[in-house]
Structure 1
């Protein structure tokens, strides 16, 4: 009889625990559902909308590239969904991506130029004693929901609260793998740096509680001085959108210039003749941070293939080529390691200086480590 009572108690406790877990799950889902509309961001209105309408890039209610582009190109006989599900590409590493913790940050009075890549496009520029963070995304998924969407292939090598004090935070465009609500909200509390963003993206930051004095919106060719640096929004060939509406905000590349050192960051972009113009006006650059991943022949004008990224680097009059936008999120159909393998081969063929660090590794631009193929062991 005692055994029966014990079993009954266990069953009762199990039901209660399952009920509590179910309730907790429902509460979690409710919180996620509540955050999804906010994660979609804001819309242009008032003075922000009026300023957008004056932009040379804005026509008929949306922003446009300099040349006509399409986000998808018809490819007769190809089934992308079938390829996604049944394709033979190896889109994930076979072992954990090796992470490093950055060494001590540079001294405030040095002229040294360093780059720390945290994964995907999230990168720290240490330039002439100042620190500029690019496209920070620390969330588990690049999505408006914590339950669905592309999931990280490796953890961030440091926590957000372990970042050093920042002087500026740059956002290239509003896609979820470059602009993350949770990360922005944490940086809002943990840092005091302004957010420099393309036109219209400030509407998202507004909705997420970023004060107006910390939002600097720029059109292409516009510059802003911060902490002794001149930061310029430059052209890119891409698109934008966080919901069903497309191209309601601008996208850009960035030039970060100190008194002696210069850095270029592509954001997301297809290859276009704007790179040569940027190189002529703002170059040469000590280092270019170049998007190399998430390409496909189905969207050839909005993301660069690795070989095109080398073309762009040379157009820009770049010194060290530093690849970003690979290894962290699975956003295309190619093999996980294909972008960097193609890049390494092209860089060697064209005598381009290249650094391929592990996430979290600090690269001294004037003394970059030799490329050692670290990714091949897990590819």
Structure 2
């Protein structure tokens, strides 16, 4: 009887854990393929029920999934810092500056441009996953509560992966801000599922633009993929060109390197600041995640002045050491004569003032 009781208790505990892991996952998955298709089908990049990159691209090599799963399980502390990641105290002046960037970790960035604010790829949840129990978790706390953010004019989303589009964050921003949500085509269906009002959603295809609060936001090309469930590439992915009366910013989102960035630079550049991904690269997925050297090359291709690296430090999504993206990016930038600034998590960087760079990351890995 005791053995059976232990078994029953263990089974009940296991069932409870599964229930906790599954709780809330259905809404977090976002919209269904059928809900997305009426919007996606209008794009020339949408065919055979999915979006396509201009350059042929593979998200994962054929037959590699089982090997990757094992690698993630056995990687140990690779990709994690040895010590606590320091946080800067976020500063939010009453009036937005002419050109400033506040990095909240990973790809979440508040951009100040010509007196307006744009929030890019905001993710405030503990995990980048549809589950609150499973999936990559934060390696540092969020540096500021969502409710404490200053007034924002627009929220831009690069694509619908969990580390760039977070249900809980979107719902909170809907309640606490009046900003418009400007997203690649198809992503609006996720927002509608989460009760974002229709009149606050703008969906754009590549090279389409929207004018908001004196800024022009252009949805630009990227080389990536999308998907929140089993279906892949049902929504579009993008980079963003953010232009004010005087200043220009390029937000790269998440992308592999592509010569198309040089075309983008000729069409929309040059840029005062570029925000480009430097982390979560691997030789097994070179088409869809650029490495640090390619980030520097992209910066040069688009005609960037100051490079601010993003997409690193917060979530362990690959197999490289935690600080390697920045050490490699600095080496590549120095060789190319590129100005690069690495803010602390939460730090506001005034792009018009010289940064006294502190190597805050060096002793952490």
Q: Calculate the TM-score normalised by the size of structure 2.
A: 0.92
Query: 1:84 — aligned with what?
Result: 72
Match of 1:52 in 2: 40
Assess if the C-alpha contact under 8 Å between 1:133 and 1:169 holds in 2.
yes
Q: Which moved more, 1:236-245 or 1:79-88?
A: 79-88
Tell me the CA shift for residue 264 of structure 1. Answer: 0.2
Displacement of 1:81 in angstroms is 4.3
Q: Are 2:304 and 1:318 equivalent residues in the alignment?
A: yes
Equivalent residue for 1:226, pick from 212, 219, 243: 212
Corresponding residue number in structure 2 for 1:41: 30
Corresponding position of 2:145:
159
Runs (4+) of structure 1 moved beyond 6 Å? none
RMSD of aligned residue pairs (Cα, Å): 2.2
Q: How far 1:49 moved relative to its partner?
A: 3.0
**2: CA distance, partners of 1:180 / 1:157:** 17
Deviation of residue 103 (structure 1)? 2.3
Q: Can you list the C-alpha shifts for 1:276-320, whole angstroms capped at 9, x where unaligned?
A: 011001100000000010000000000001000111000000000
Following superposition, the deviation at residue 371 of structure 1 comes to: 3.0
Matches within 5 A, 1:160-175: 160-175=146-161
Name the residue aligned to 1:353.
339
1:95 to 76, 83, 99: 83
For residue 275 of structure 2, give the secondary structure of its aligned residue in structure 1: strand
In the TM superposition, what whole-angstrom CA distance separates every residue of 1:176-211 from its partner, at most 9, and x where no partner exists?
000000111111111110100001001110111101
Do residues 145 (structure 1) and 131 (structure 2) align? yes
**Larger Rg over CA atoms:** 1
CA distance in 2, matches of 1:119, 1:88: 22
Matched residue, 1:14? none
Q: 1:164 to 1:299 in 2, by over 3 A?
A: same
Find the residue that maps to 1:290 and give its secondary structure: strand
Aligned: 1:204 with 2:190: yes
* SS of residue paired to 2:361: helix
Q: Show CA shifts across 1:120-164 (max 9, x none).
A: 000000111111000000000000000000000001110001100
> Structure 2: any 5+ residue segments left out of the alignment?
1-8
**Whole-angstrom CA distance in 2 between matches of 1:341 and 1:162:** 32
| Cα displacement (A) at 1:45 | 4.5
Alignment partner for residue 341 of structure 1, among 319, 327, 337? Answer: 327
Work out the CA distance in 2 between the residues paired with 1:43 and 1:251: 17
Indicate if the aligned counterparts of 1:167 and 1:194 stay in contact, CA closer than 8 A: yes
* SS of residue matched to 1:374: coil
